[in-house]
Amino acid sequence: MRSVKISDYMARKLVCFRAETNVYEAMQELLDNRISGAPVVNEAGELVGIISEVDLMQVITRGSYYDDMGGIVGDYMHFPVDTVPMDLDIYSLAEKFIHEGRRRFPVLNQGKLVGQISRRNVLEAIRQALAEKRPKR
């Protein structure tokens, strides 16, 4: 099969948050966009964390324990963040997904956030590569 790069299939228009974003605003944004997580960036646009549905569920568990359901994304985000370079091939990325159990990876180019790749993006890339390989009738 031909080499297929992450950059061909990654999402480039991302929902991103700042660490200072209110957790309820972040929850609403994830729900409105039907996504399960998003990168967290600083003022310079550098990746500083990632927030997921599971991270935001902590608002409920912490809130019930401390009787305070609120906070900011920075209180709940996951960091450091596992990332992938945009020139990585899809097949190597598939192995990484299998072994690390992640749903998505932020994609970096020379240290800058340029996109995000999900398991669904990888499946689509592989489906297209296999379709191209099949003999035409």
pLDDT in tens, 9-37: 999 999 999 999 999 999 999 999 999 89
Q: What is the pLDDT of residue 136?
A: 66
* Pairing state between β 104-109 and 84-85: parallel
53 inside domain? yes
pLDDT in tens, 61-104: 776 656 666 889 999 999 999 999 999 999 899 999 999 988 88
1 inside domain? no
Domains identified in the chain, total number: 1
24 inside domain? yes
Q: What is d(CA 23, CA 20) in angstroms, rounded to the nearest whole number?
A: 9
pLDDT in tens, 82-91: 999 999 999 8
| Domain range for 99 | 6-133
83 inside domain? yes
Q: What is d(CA 123, CA 137) in angstroms, rounded to the nearest whole number?
A: 24
CATH number, position 108: 3.10.580.10
87 inside domain? yes
